[in-house]
Amino acid sequence: MWMILSCGFFISVFITIAAYLKDVMIAGYQSAGYGAGHIPNDRPGQKFTKFKIQIPYEDKLSGAIKQGQFTFASPICYELADPQIVRNLCFYDSQDIDFIVNLSNDNFYKKSAELDQMLDIAKMRCIENRKPMGRCTTTGISAFISATGEVDNFIKDKDGETKEVQGILTGNIKIHKGQSVYNKVGDWFGWLCFIVFVLSAVFWIYRQED
C-alpha cells in the first residue's frame, strides 16, 4: 500500500489493483494546491474505494492456516479526523470491510502532542466502526489498533521513542465482522441529544418567564 500525492494505491506484483483518491482536502492547504505534491487545483476523489487482498489467516475451529480474501478501506491522512468519511468508507455500497489501513503524512507535526492526538483520533474511528486498523505514518505514530481502540503494537526505537523514527511493523489483527451501532445510524444520536438539549433550554426559559 503506497500513498503518492493524495492517492492511495494498493499494488501487488507491480500491478495496480485499485486506487483511492483522497476525498477531503485540507482547507487552505491541499485545496489551494500547496499539498498533494504541490499540484495546483488538486481535486478530491469522486468515490470511496475498497481494496481486496489475499492473506493467510488462522481458522479458529481447526487452528489451521488458510488463505482468505479480505476487504479494507484506506482513509488518507487527515480524513481520519472526519467520522463520517471513515464511516462511509467502512460500509460503502452496503458492503462491510474487515479492517482499516490509514496512510498519513504527519511530518509537519514534528514531535509535538499532535502526533498523540492523531493516534487518539485513530482509536476513536476504530471504536466507532468496530474495525481494527493498521496505521502507517511518515514520522509517527505508526501502530496496529484493535477494534476496541487498544494499541496492540507500534514502531519504536531502542530508547522507546515512537515519533520521527524508522522501522517495519508486523503483527496480527483480529477481524470484527458486522456493523457497529454508529456505523448503522451515524450521528443521529448526537443530533437527538442536541435537539433534546435545545428543547429543554427553551422549556426552561419559558418556565422562568412564567
Structure pTM? 0.73
Q: Do residue 197 and residue 133 come from a single domain? A: no
The amino acid at 32:
A
Can you give the residue range of the structural domain that contains 198? 185-210
| Residue 17 to residue 147: CA distance in whole angstroms | 26
Q: Do residue 116 and residue 200 come from a single domain? A: no
Greatest pairwise CA separation for the chain in angstroms:
75
* Integer-rounded Cα radius of gyration of the chain: 20
Q: Do residue 159 and residue 201 come from a single domain? A: no
Q: Do residue 189 and residue 150 come from a single domain? A: no
CATH number of the domain residue 90 falls in: 3.60.110.10
Residue 146: CB partners within 8 Å, gap ≥ 6? 126, 132, 152, 173, 174
Q: Do residue 147 and residue 207 come from a single domain? A: no
Q: Do residue 129 and residue 98 come from a single domain? A: yes
Q: Do residue 104 and residue 203 come from a single domain? A: no
Domain count within the chain: 2
Q: Do residue 120 and residue 203 come from a single domain? A: no
CA atoms within 13 A on the CB side of 182: 18
| Residue 34: predicted pLDDT | 42
Q: Do residue 99 and residue 127 come from a single domain? A: yes
Cβ(86)–Cβ(46) below 8 Å: no
Grouped pLDDT means (10 residues each) for the chain, 210 residues: 50 55 57 42 57 76 78 83 85 77 80 86 91 87 90 84 82 81 82 92 80
